[in-house]
Every structure is written in structure tokens, then in C-alpha cells.
């Protein structure tokens, strides 16, 4: 095999948590304890060889790298302290940056040096929209109690082009319009970047696999036979249960998963209520009652988000302290970001209940910034597990199916 090591790739891995990979002397202990490993697929022993040799293209096209749940068993049992789990985490961090689009934004999200700019971009965007909306006025306590944050980006006057023919009822509230522009724009960027990344990963995995990989199922077959079973397995956290050393990671991941599920429902309903129902029922543009089922789900989900993130925070801090794990921006950024979203959202709610409009508007601005960061940077951070691990699990099922393997050869 012709080996062309990528020295820059090796240097990156050493700075991203894979600084111990040269300690590996191929004893295969990691492959013995890893539940993903098979005789045909000696994972992660094979990946440790490729990492030490700087074989970037093989690793970034290896579905096993993305299937790894970093359970920690390989690291715990490694007699040399090579920490394969951390090396694989560093490879994934590199892959998410390499697959990212636009490239400049992906690189910015890969290092702590880019953090000021990562915060500044959504802060400036939201501040500019806030300024041009005419809503940059702190309301008095009575208005704040009645409207909450529904006038954060201002409201229409009677001559606005957004008014219906009767000149009374707005087609869409000004606040909703500006929020739609900001967050649909951020979501569109994330969707396009995710699509480019996922298709790029699939093509590289297919090329690496070779053989009959070009025989493709229909979209319905792909969704029913491969994508949906992968999503079910992810939701059930089946592979986390196979972990030994870091089994408690499931305890932190599950509240986060259900929290994001709950907030997705809340967001979908809010968009439907404001953008569709609000055209006919103006009251939909007002703040929800604290006893509204959707508001209760939102608050419960926010608490679950903070709890789950707190568990992961403690687990990560414990691993770094007890197992001498190297702290990385890649691992900590998403934890900080999710915690910031949950805490700022709850604090904005508390400020509204307490009748503190000035404090509430400041915290709400911070909340909008953190939510926009979560949307925009999803394809480049550890949150990209959501799309790339699902893609890898789908590909795993696909490559083991009759579309790729001849049943007579099995």
C-alpha cells in the first residue's frame, strides 16, 4: 500500500485531543473490547494505524469513525494510554470541518481563536435587524406585562403595507416577520451546509467501499429500510447501552434528546400559530399564558436541556480530571452553547414574570444570539453528530444489504 502521510493532519490531531496516538503499539486491546469491532473490521485498531500514518482521506471516509459513540472502553483498557477514543474524536472534529460549507465558517468554528467572531456574527446581525425594525425601545412594565417580547422588533402602524384591507389586522406581526427572516436564514444556511456535507460524506464512503456500491435503492427504500431504522436506534440509544466505562453518558444524552424534541414541537407550533393562524386570529401574535400546554412543554424542555447539559458537563470535567483527558474546544463549545440557550431562555422568562423589561430585553437579545449560533454552527460543531452519525448508520445498513452484498456470498 502506498502511504502518503499528511503531516498537517497529524499535527491537527495532536492539537485536537489525539496527542497520545503515537503511544499505540498495535496490541489490539481496543478492538477486543469495542462492541463495534468485528473480525472483518478491527475497529479502532485499524483507525489508529491510519491516524499514526496521517492517512486523512481513509479516515474521513470511514463510517466507523462516525459510528463510534466514544464510550471510553478502548481508552480505559489501553495498556499504553494511547486513548483511541480521543483520537477518533479528533478525527471527527477534523472531518466536520473538512466537510463544512462554507469553508471559512467551518474553519472559524473549529478553534477557540474563532470564538469572538462566532459570537460577533449573530450578535451584529440581530442588533442590525433590531435597530432597523424600530423596536429598540425598552417598554414600560405595563406594556411588557401585556406583550412580553412580542414587540421586541417593534410593531406595525395603521398605514403599513403588511396591514389587511381593513387597515386594522396585520397579516403578520412585525416581530414575527423579523424573527422569520433571521432564523429561517440561519436554518437555510445550516440545511444547505448539512446537505453538502452529508452528500460529500456518502460519496467518499461509497468510493472507499467500492464493489457494487453504485446500485442504489429508491428514495422510499432508502427512507424506510435504512434511514428510519437508524433514527429509531439513535432515539433508543441502543449503542450507548453497549458502553461500559462511560455508560452514564446515556443519562446526559437522553434528557438533551427529549429536550430538543420538545423544543422542535414548540418551534413548529409557534411558527404555525404565528405565520398561519395569526393571519386570521390576531391573538396568536400575543404571548402565551404560562399555563398554555405549549408553554409548559417549552419550559420543561428548557429545564431538561439544562439538566442533560449539566450531566455531560460534569462527566466531561470528571474525565479530564481523573483520566487525564485533554480538554478541547470541540468538546466544550457545544456544552457551553446548549447551556447558554437553556439558561438565557429561562432567565428571559423569569424577567418577564418579575416585570423587569430592561433586564428582560437584554437577556432576550442574548437568547436570540445563542439560538442563532446553535442553528448556524450546527454542521461544524459536535452537534453535527446529528446528521453525520445518522448518515454513517444509514450507510452501515446499506453496505450490509443486498444492494451492495451478494446474498449468495454471505
The average confidence (pLDDT) of the chain is: 85
Residue 119: pLDDT band with limits 50, 70, 90: very high
pLDDT of residue 191: 96
Reading phi first (left if > 0) and then psi (alpha if -120 to 50, else beta), residue 28 is in left
Mean pLDDT comparison of 35-39, 126-130, 169-173, 280-284, highest-scoring range = 126-130
**Residue-level pLDDT at 128:** 97
Cell numbers standing for residue 64: 466507523
**Of 287, 289, 342, 283, whose CA–CA distance to 312 is shortest?**
342
Residue 369: which H helix or E strand, with range?
A: helix 357-376
For 63-99, write each residue's pLDDT tens digit.
Answer: 999 988 888 888 888 898 888 888 999 999 999 999 9
- Classify the phi-psi angles of 306: left when phi > 0, otherwise alpha if psi is within -120 to 50, otherwise beta: alpha
Q: In the prediction, which pLDDT does 408 show?
A: 54
Grid cell listed for 358: 430592561
- Lowest mean pLDDT, pick from 100-114, 227-241, 302-316: 227-241
Angle at 352 (CA atoms; ends 351, 357), nearest 5 degrees: 75
Is the pLDDT at 380 greater than 80? The verdict is yes
3-state helix, strand, coil in the chain (%, to 5): 70, 0, 30
Q: Please report the pLDDT score of residue 163 as a whole number.
A: 47
Handedness of CA 79, 80, 81, 83 (dihedral sign): negative
Does pTM top 0.85 for this prediction? Answer: yes
Does position 304 have pLDDT exceeding 50, yes or no? yes
Please write the tens of the pLDDT for every residue from 215-262. Answer: 677 888 888 999 999 989 888 877 777 666 666 667 778 888 888 889
pLDDT at 377 over 70: yes
Q: CA-CA distance, 12 to 281, in Å (whole number)?
A: 55
d(CA 181, CA 186): 9
Domain locations along the chain: 7-99, 105-399
pLDDT surpasses 60 at 407: no
Enumerate the β-bridge partners of residue 262: none
The more confident residue out of 125 and 219 is: 125
Q: 10 Å Cβ neighbour count for 276?
A: 12
In this prediction, residue 102 has a pLDDT band, given cuts at 50, 70 and 90, of very high
Q: Which of 1-15, 260-274, 339-353 has the highest mean pLDDT?
A: 339-353
How many helices (H) and strands (E) the chain has is answered by: 19, 0
Give the pLDDT confidence score for residue 166 in this predicted structure: 46
Q: How far is C-alpha 261 from the geometric centre of its chain's CA atoms? A: 13
Which has the minimum average pLDDT: 87-101, 159-173, 274-288, 392-406? 159-173
Distance (Å, whole) CA 220 – CA 206: 20
Distances from the Cα of 385 to the Cα of 53, 304, 391, angstroms: 25, 20, 9
Predicted pLDDT at 168: 47
Q: Which three cell numbers stand for residue 253?
A: 444524552
More confident residue, 278 or 352: 352
Percent of the chain with pLDDT over 90: 40
pLDDT, tens only, 165-197: 444 445 677 888 899 999 999 999 999 999 999
- The mean-pLDDT minimum among 36-40, 260-264, 307-311 falls in 36-40
The predicted structure's pLDDT at residue 2: 62
Amino acid at each position: 500500500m502506498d502511504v502518503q502521510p499528511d503531516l498537517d493532519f497529524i499535527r491537527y490531531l495532536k492539537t485536537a485531543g489525539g496527542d497520545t496516538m503515537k503511544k499505540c503499539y498495535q496490541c489490539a486491546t481496543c478492538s477486543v473490547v469495542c462492541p463495534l469491532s468485528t473480525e472483518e473490521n478491527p475497529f479502532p485498531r485499524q483507525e489508529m494505524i491510519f491516524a499514526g500514518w496521517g492517512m486523512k482521506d481513509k479516515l474521513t471516509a470511514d463510517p466507523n469513525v462516525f459510528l463510534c459513540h466514544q464510550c471510553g472502553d478502548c481508552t480505559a483498557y489501553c495498556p499504553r494510554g494511547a486513548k483511541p477514543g480521543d483520537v477518533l474524536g479528533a478525527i471527527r472534529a477534523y472531518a466536520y470541518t473538512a466537510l463544512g460549507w462554507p469553508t471559512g465558517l467551518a474553519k472559524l468554528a473549529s478553534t477557540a481563536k474563532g470564538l469572538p467572531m462566532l459570537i460577533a456574527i449573530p450578535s451584529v446581525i440581530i442588533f442590525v435587524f433590531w435597530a432597523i425594525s424600530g423596536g429598540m425601545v425598552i417598554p414600560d412594565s405595563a406594556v411588557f406585562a401585556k406583550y412580553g417580547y412580542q414587540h421586541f422588533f417593534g410593531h406595525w402602524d395603521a398605514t403599513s403595507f403588511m396591514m389587511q384591507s381593513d387597515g386594522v389586522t396585520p397579516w403578520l406581526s412585525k416581530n414575527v416577520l423579523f424573527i422569520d427572516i433571521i432564523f429561517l436564514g440561519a436554518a437555510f444556511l445550516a440545511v444547505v451546509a448539512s446537505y453538502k456535507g452529508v452528500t460529500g460524506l456518502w460519496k467518499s464512503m461509497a468510493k472507499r467501499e467500492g464493489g457494487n456500491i453504485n446500485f442504489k435503492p429508491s428514495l422510499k427504500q432508502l427512507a424506510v429500510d435504512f434511514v428510519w431504522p437508524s433514527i429509531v436506534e439513535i432515539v433508543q440509544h441502543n449503542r450507548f447501552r453497549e458502553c461500559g466505562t462511560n455508560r452514564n453518558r446515556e443519562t446526559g444524552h437522553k434528557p438533551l434528546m427529549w429536550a430538543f424534541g420538545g423544543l422542535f414541537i414548540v418551534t413548529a407550533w409557534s411558527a404555525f400559530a404565528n405565520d398561519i393562524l395569526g393571519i386570521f386570529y390576531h391573538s396568536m401574535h400575543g404571548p402565551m399564558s404560562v399555563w398554555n400546554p405549549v408553554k409548559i412543554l417549552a419550559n420543561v424542555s428548557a429545564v431538561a436541556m439544562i439538566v442533560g447539559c449539566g450531566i455531560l458537563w460534569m462527566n466531561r470535567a470528571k474525565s479530564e480530571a481523573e483520566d487525564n483527558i485533554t480538554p478541547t474546544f470541540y468538546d466544550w463549545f457545544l456544552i457551553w452553547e446548549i447551556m447558554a440557550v437553556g439558561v438565557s431562555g429561562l432567565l428571559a422568562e423569569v424577567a418577564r414574570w418579575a416585570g423587569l423589561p430592561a433586564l428582560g430585553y437584554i437577556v432576550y437579545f442574548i437568547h436570540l444570539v445563542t439560538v442563532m449560533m446553535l442553528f448556524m454552527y450546527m454542521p461544524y460543531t459536535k452537534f453535527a453528530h446529528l446528521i453525520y452519525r445518522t448518515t454513517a448508520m444509514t450507510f452501515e445498513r446499506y453496505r450490509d444489504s443486498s444492494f451492495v452484498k451478494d446474498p449468495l456470498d454471505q
